[in-house]
């Protein structure tokens, strides 16, 4: 039965767990290349800069999916749309696994990125099904699954590469998405709350939301800056640790993703803060921690312990700001949650793509020092935006 807009929210703990796991599998597949870049570059005969294009393609594909596909959740029945997109994401992973050259890798990567935005239809779907007083907690829990998927993707990718090569990672990812598709098909309720707009006008309404909602504009800027910072670190880190003096294997590099698990688990805590009306505190605190994380990250040549602390702080900060951003935009217009998600997350991943591309170029020319300088600059830009917003808000209250 298809749920009607008047139906009371209903979301069991098991369904929350299933949605969290599916989002993790979907988005995690975009992060397979990060610990694998040195191995893929060697196998395909690529320079550092050309290999970095793989990560950039994944993020641009995801950004395109956010802009052009996620709004369809406000137009079509959710379960059917989710199942179709999950299958197409699996097809993209299989294409990459079978790719003989960089051009085909980029096609498969772009397809995976485009359709793995199914995760960003699941998140607002969970927000819609949740009771209002638990919405922040539910969104935080589903996002914890998504973030754990990103982090574990690096670890699993590194381990599988050591066992059977980088292509094994993509074969396993495709199989995992197929299994997730069948589980979602059986577990999700049918839900359709259509808007009276054509697809073209639906897309145009995203720009109208940007125009009319200052909270969305601010949170989109913060999201782009923080995820750009995140991508700067994770894109260059693999080259840093694979080269001298560390010379780590892909499996060892992948283990660094586990350091950020604490940050992912903190996502639900950020959601609870938002439910209690303290989302701005989570945002401001996260931005300060993000900037501070680059100090220990810069010490990698002198102290691996400091470096690990920096990884933990960076992931914790990025996830805390991200969840508080989403909690803020989901309060704006409940009937347009998919379009709000599209607007925010498109900005988020454009920032990530720019961070990845800039990181590869900075590391290629200036080494780790260049990556640290770029990451710290992006972190400071996010803090500056937030400081200006609060300054203007205080001026307006006088």
pLDDT at position 267:
60
Q: Is residue 82 predicted with pLDDT exceeding 90?
A: yes
Q: For domain 7-397, give the fold.
A: Growth Hormone; Chain: A; (1.20.1250)
Taking the C-alpha atoms of residue 3 and residue 355, their distance in angstroms, rounded to an integer, is: 40
According to DSSP, residue 200 is labeled: H
pLDDT above 90 covers a percentage of the chain that reads 36
Mean pLDDT along residues 132-158: 80
Contacts 24+ apart (CB under 8 A), 299-304: 300/240, 300/368, 301/245, 301/368
Mean pLDDT along residues 367-373: 94
Mean pLDDT along residues 228-243: 87
Per-residue pLDDT tens over the stretch 168-212: 999 999 999 999 999 999 999 988 776 777 888 888 888 899 899
Q: Is residue 67 predicted with pLDDT exceeding 90?
A: no
Characterize the bridge pairing of strands 190-191 and 2-3.
Answer: parallel
Q: Is residue 4 predicted with pLDDT exceeding 70?
A: no
Taking the C-alpha atoms of residue 310 and residue 120, their distance in angstroms, rounded to an integer, is: 28
Q: Is the separation of the CB atoms in 256 and 277 below 8 Å?
A: no
Main-chain phi, psi angles of 201, to 5 degrees: -70, -30
List the chain domain ranges. 7-397
For residue 268, what pLDDT band results from cuts at 50, 70 and 90? low
Per-residue pLDDT tens over the stretch 109-134: 999 999 999 998 998 898 888 877 77
């Amino acid at each position: 039965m298809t749920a009607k807009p008047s139906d009371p929210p209903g979301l069991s703990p098991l369904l929350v767990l299933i949605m969290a796991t599916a989002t993790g599998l979907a988005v995690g597949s975009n992060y397979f290349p990060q610990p694998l870049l040195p191995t893929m570059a060697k196998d395909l005969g690529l320079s550092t800069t050309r290999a970095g294009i793989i990560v950039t393609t994944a993020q641009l594909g995801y950004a395109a999916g956010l802009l052009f596909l996620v709004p369809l959740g406000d137009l079509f029945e959710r379960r059917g749309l989710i199942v179709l997109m999950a299958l197409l994401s699996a097809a993209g992973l299989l294409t990459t696994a079978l790719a003989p050259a960089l051009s085909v890798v980029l096609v498969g990567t772009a397809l995976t990125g485009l359709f793995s935005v199914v995760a960003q239809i699941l998140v607002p779907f969970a927000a819609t099904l949740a009771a209002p007083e638990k919405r922040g907690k539910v969104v935080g829990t589903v996002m914890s699954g998504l973030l754990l998927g990103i982090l574990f993707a690096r670890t699993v990718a590194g381990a599988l590469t050591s066992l059977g090569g980088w292509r094994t990672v993509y074969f396993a990812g495709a199989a995992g998405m197929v299994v997730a598709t069948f589980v979602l098909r059986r577990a999700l309720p049918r839900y359709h709350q259509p808007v009276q707009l054509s697809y073209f006008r639906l897309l145009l309404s995203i720009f109208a939301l940007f125009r009319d909602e200052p909270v969305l504009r601010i949170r989109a800027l913060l999201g782009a800056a923080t995820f750009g910072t995140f991508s700067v670190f994770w894109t260059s880190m693999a080259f840093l640790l694979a080269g001298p003096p560390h010379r780590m294997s892909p499996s060892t590099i992948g283990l660094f993703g586990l350091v950020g698990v604490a940050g992912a688990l903190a996502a639900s805590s950020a959601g609870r803060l938002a439910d209690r009306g303290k989302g701005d505190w989570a945002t401001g605190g996260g931005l300060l921690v993000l900037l501070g994380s680059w100090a220990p990250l810069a010490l990698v040549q002198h102290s691996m312990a400091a470096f690990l602390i920096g990884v933990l702080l960076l992931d914790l900060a990025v996830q805390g700001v991200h969840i508080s951003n989403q909690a803020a935009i989901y309060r704006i217009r409940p009937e347009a949650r998919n379009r709000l998600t599209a607007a925010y997350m498109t900005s988020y991943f454009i920032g990530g793509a720019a961070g990845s591309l800039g990181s590869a170029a900075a590391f290629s020319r200036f080494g780790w020092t260049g990556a640290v300088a770029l990451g710290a600059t992006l972190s400071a830009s996010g803090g500056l935006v937030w400081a200006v917003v609060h300054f203007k808000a205080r001026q307006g209250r006088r």
